[in-house]
A and B are shown apart, each in its own frame.
Chain A
Amino acid sequence: MIRSYWFLGICLLLQGTLFSQEENFTISGYITDKATGEAMIGATVYDFKSGNGSVANNYGFYSLSLPADSVNLRFSFVGYTTEWRRMDLEKNLSLNIELSGNTTLEGVEITAERNEKSLEQTQMSSINLSMDKVKSLPVLLGERDVIKTLQLMPGVQSGVEGASGLYVRGGGPDQNLILLDGVPVYNASHLFGFFSIFNTDALNSVQLIKGGFPAEYGGRLSSVIDMRMKEGNSKKISGEGGIGLIAARLTLEGPIIKDKTSFMISGRRTYIDVLTRPIIRSQADGTDGGYFFYDLNAKVNHKFSDRSRLFASGYFGRDRFFARDSYESSGFEDDYEETYEAGLNWGNAIGALRWNYVFGPKLFSNTTLTYSKYNFDVSSEYESTRTENGATTEEEQSIRYLSGIRDWGAKIDFSYFPSPDHAVKFGGAYIYHTFFPGVNRYSESGTDSPVDTTYGSSDIYAHEFNGYIQDDWRINGRLKVNAGLHLSAFSVNGKQYFSAQPRLAGRYLLNERTSLKLSYAHMAQFLHLLTNAGVGLPTDLWVPPTENIEPQLAHQVAAGVVRTLPQGFEVSLEGYYKLMQNLIEYKEGAGFLGNANDWQNLVEVGRGWSYGAELMIEKKVGKTSGWIGYTLSWTEREFEELNFGNPFPYRYDRRHDISLALTHTFNERVDVGLVWVYGTGSSITLPIERYRRLSGAGDPFGGSEIGHIDERNNYRMPAYHRLDLGVNLHRKTRYGSRTWSFGLYNAYSRQNPFYLYFSNDNRGNSRLTQLSLFPIIPSVTYNFKF
């Protein structure tokens, strides 16, 4: 079986090489933003003469092999003025193109040809998020958030109200490969997931893939979210920032050496603590506490030549919660002072060093060293000092708990364009994982029995390898196929796992406005996440597979149709079926806090499946743009030891999910945004009846009652729906421009369910009670650009 996969891969490569023997010439180069020098990721180049085209990669590089002839090239990107080039192609040509952004403000009318990219590409179940759209849609407390915007896409669901977790096509929150400049991010949430860690000002592009995964991606079952940070303006110093209700942010970018070296640095910090500390302090002497988070993104890149370029990028962000309490007393002969301090802090640190090298017009390489760390640290310290008759005694007690995960990685990727009909990608990667499942440190001094001890689970070291090859092959004018193979291996504690994952995606052009798409992807995931699956707690813990708990696997098939309509409309309809194996869930009765030790004994292993249909009607251009998304889906889980072995609905099984996101630009100074979402309620488990248990027979509680649960996840919370409204008022200033953004989150103040519990009403009756978090919440943000 494995041998046949290798054979397939070699055939693909050879095939490309054979094709390269034809008499073609190659046009290659970079497509960049004229104003900033920023790479235009996903910009398209299309030759009207031959009907061939190509797409700029994550670094703006494109390569298009064409027969020796006259060519008529069009370079385009939504929101940018299209560039045309006509020439006779007699030799390989290096052609860098700069596209000019529309001179009007964000979101204002933009013109484009009908969007061939969606029709032409073999990739399906994919969404490229416009950063302008992210910035113009209204959001909670005015904090722009790419993850919240992705939640508005069909097939993507949020967890509980306000949270930024992603549940893609019935998958869990751990099954999303979130890449920031190619580096995996392990915890993408701030403050219980109400905000994501991604500062939109620092991002250049965001792509979400829900299915039909190309072979270059692997390691997660349900989605890939590939985010690229801005490279930094290589033309001039510029910046943007904003001050909102809870946070302020500032981004600076510019050339260090014009057109050669540029930088970008972006920071964000909340000031909830600054606002709340005076209130907390006023409550009692010696009491203090607060919470804040901050992010820092930075990137530097240097262009050695048109062929060689180096990037260094990093992200560092932390959440910190702290509480302090102190007490003092003074007597005639003795003084006493004690301090109690508790802290929680968690965060990610991410780094990437990347080298792009263009071997020739047909071969592009990207070599990357990566570092990613997520850690969680909780501490509690107590100190007391007693002075009695001139003698001082001190007592100290300290408890800390640390857990996390750290990766070092190296990878190399090649893009090879052997002929007009083939775009081959291949490469490999190695990741050295270190899991910190939980270490406790306890010390005590100044007591009769001083202690200083460290105990907990040992660090776990694991090696992950992967290699891939894929070919985007245009078989004829109508049929195009992307076939590939992703191989991966994982070694931990002497146990090895290997996975061969074939990938296939194809599109068939029915006519110039309609294409059919079909895909199959087999995915493997060598990580499990111990999570309560409700609130994005920092205690969620990544763990490797073990001898008893094997890696997660998935098979997904999807079929769809894309049609472009007049006036910039595009309609896509997709159906999918996904089967997932080796999923984990906590055992009945198990809690989730601090269960690092022998976690595998606290979980059950089972399988799940999800199927459904997704409809998206999108308008990308014009004064009014946006989309309507509708998802109809079923998601179930089956575990031998849960629900007595019977299948049960997944917590986020959501039959209907509708999202409407619209922006309308009145003129250069005013645009408005509207978001409306509707989703079937999440399912939770509640007892329906109570009855007496068997008395006696060794049962110490004999005779008391049992809350009967007929089926797991047997109760549907009320449906979730919400309307958000926003208006952006722009004005040009001496230094650049400024925007006042006013928003109303949950404009009709719908009480959406966050948590259900039983309570007693004022007549003593027990009632099922719904807790809702966010009523109507206005926001105002001042944004500026220079």
Chain B
Amino acid sequence: MLQNKLSVFVGICLLAMMAVSCTKYLDYEGEDAPPRLVVNGLMQADSNFTVELSNSLGFIDIGEIQSLENGRVAVFDEEGNFVDSLLHQGDGRYRGNAVAEANERYTVRAVADAFPEAYATDMVPLPVPIVSWDTLFSPTDEFGSGTETLTLSFNIDDPEGIDNFYLFDILSTQEYYVQPFFDNQGNIVGYDTIYIENPSEYSLCFETSDQILINENDLFVGETTFYSCNLLFSDRLFDGQNQRFSVRLDYFQPSVSLVLRLSSISEDYYQYSRTLQRYDYAEGDPFAEPVQVFTNMKGNALGIWGGSSTSETKIDF
């Protein structure tokens, strides 16, 4: 609250300065920076290779970023052997027939329009499964809303001696809902369970007080809780250990099933995701330090070529 007041003060002072100041436009290379090839692809273990091609624009160029549909994209293994050629599926998305294998390194090479060839190499790490999990329900609040807080704990066995990086999120599927019946006075007289014909999966946001997880999201260090829809963390604080984590879901309705999704991700993809998370956190704040989003694409190109192996654990309630 106080930080807000400080911000207001600083804002007022800056506005006061602006009131007595004058402005002018400056020439800026962000207006006419030459476009570059942008290649984004995430290799998922046991899934087909996919890549998106587009072009960059000057930061203040009012033009629209274009998907590139006439590109050529190929994937090679660590020895430089051809693995797959990706075909355009529409809207700049390319897909191959071969699947990425865990513990393998792949190089993507892409050309489109007159851009020079873009390339990057990364690894698909081995999956790290959730070895056990536990749930605990407690009433969420004093207002008797009927909802509960679900505390979810899970354990992983972190492989020893190598740097591991993780992305954790929770997917939910609401398969049914409970509908109450009311009498003329508005009192509940009964319930009916209604099943949803085509339940869809969506991401659930959650809270954690786990200091290892908070420490990894270092802009929030010092906070007692951290609210997010996904958690990025490395094993620097628990390398080679069986580590237990805990997250909370407030106002949880047991009518849904949950999927705990733990992705073992490559270091490059971790760097990209981490810097992107900071970028989103700082965007629009004139007092925040600028953030450089990580890119591993070479050949005067931008984008990310990352790897991920996901293990899923389904919990039915």
Contact = CB atoms under 8 A, between A and B. Distances in A.
Contact of B58 (A532, A594, A689, A701): A689
B213 interface: no
- Closest 5 A-B residue pairs measured CB to CB? A598-B222, A589-B278, A601-B221, A766-B60, A691-B56
17 contacts: A192-B13, A589-B219, A593-B6, A593-B287, A601-B215, A644-B294, A688-B30, A688-B33, A690-B58, A691-B56, A691-B57, A691-B65, A693-B40, A694-B306, A699-B273, A701-B276, A767-B60
Given A598-B222, A773-B20, A775-B22, A643 B30 contact: no
A602 B30 contact: no
Contacts of A701: 276, 280
B59 A690 contact: yes
Interface in A674-692: 685-692
Given A321-B9, A644-B292, A687-B30, A707 B59 contact: yes
A328 B169 CA distance: 52
B293 A706 contact: yes
Contact of A342 (B5, B26, B302, B303): B5
A660 to B, nearest CB: 25
Interface string A193-217: 0000000000000000000000000
Contacts of B278: 587-589
A705 interface: yes
A1 interface: no
Nearest to B282: A589
A768 B222 CA distance: 36
A769 B23 contact: yes
A537 interface: yes
A767 B30 CA distance: 9
A380 B5 contact: yes
Given A692-B40, A706-B279, A597 B222 contact: yes
Most buried by B among A686, A697, A761: A697
Interface of A: 192, 321, 342, 344, 378, 380, 399, 401, 440, 532, 537, 539, 585-594, 597-598, 601-602, 643-644, 685-701, 705-709, 711-712, 715, 718, 751, 754-759, 761, 764-773, 775
Interface string B33-62: 100101011100000000010111111111
A592 B289 CA distance: 8
Nearest to B230: A698
B13 A587 contact: no
B288 interface: yes
A588 B42 contact: no
Contacts of A692: 38, 40, 52, 54, 65
A691 B54 contact: yes
Interface of B: 1-3, 5-7, 9-10, 13-14, 17-18, 20-31, 33, 36, 38, 40-42, 52, 54-62, 65, 167, 169, 203, 215, 218-219, 221-222, 229-230, 261, 263, 272-273, 275-276, 278-282, 285-295, 302-304, 306, 308
A700 B230 contact: yes
B286 A757 contact: yes
Contact of B287 (A342, A591, A708, A712): A591
Contact of B6 (A539, A590, A687, A756): A539
A675 B33 CA distance: 39
A751 B24 contact: yes
B-side binding surface: helix, strand, loop or mixed?
A: mixed
A745 B230 CA distance: 54
Contacts of A766: 59-60, 62
A585 B218 CA distance: 14
Task: Output the residue of A399, A690, A691, A769 with the most chain B CB within 10 A.
Answer: A691
Interface-central residue, B23, B221, B276, by most chain A CB under 10 Å: B23
Contacts of B38: 691-692
Given A378-B9, A693-B40, A694-B303, A601 B222 contact: yes
Contact of B291 (A588, A593, A705): A588
A767 B25 contact: yes
Contacts of B3: 593-594
B264 to A, nearest CB: 13
A345 to B, nearest CB: 12
A594 B1 CA distance: 10
Given A689-B36, A709-B292, A768-B26, 6 more contacts: A399-B1, A643-B292, A693-B276, A694-B41, A705-B65, A770-B23
A692 B294 CA distance: 13
A718 B287 contact: no
A698 B167 contact: yes
B288 to A, nearest CB: 5
A765 to B, nearest CB: 6
Given A689-B58, A700-B203, A770 B24 contact: yes
A695 B293 CA distance: 15
Contacts of A708: 56, 59, 293, 295, 302
A276 to B, nearest CB: 10
Contacts of A686: 28, 30, 59, 290
Interface centre among B218, B281, B285 (most CB of A within 10 A): B218
A771 B308 contact: no
A500 to B, nearest CB: 34
A769 B286 CA distance: 14
Contacts of B308: 697
Interface hub of A594, A698, A712 (most chain B Cβ within 10 A): A698
Residue among B2, B29, B303 with the most chain A CB within 10 A? B2
Contacts of B65: 690-692, 705
Contacts of A757: 286
A588 B10 contact: no
Contacts of A764: 62
Nearest to A376: B6
Given A342-B5, A770-B23, A698 B263 contact: yes
Contacts of B302: 689, 691, 708
Contact of B169 (A698, A706, A761): A698
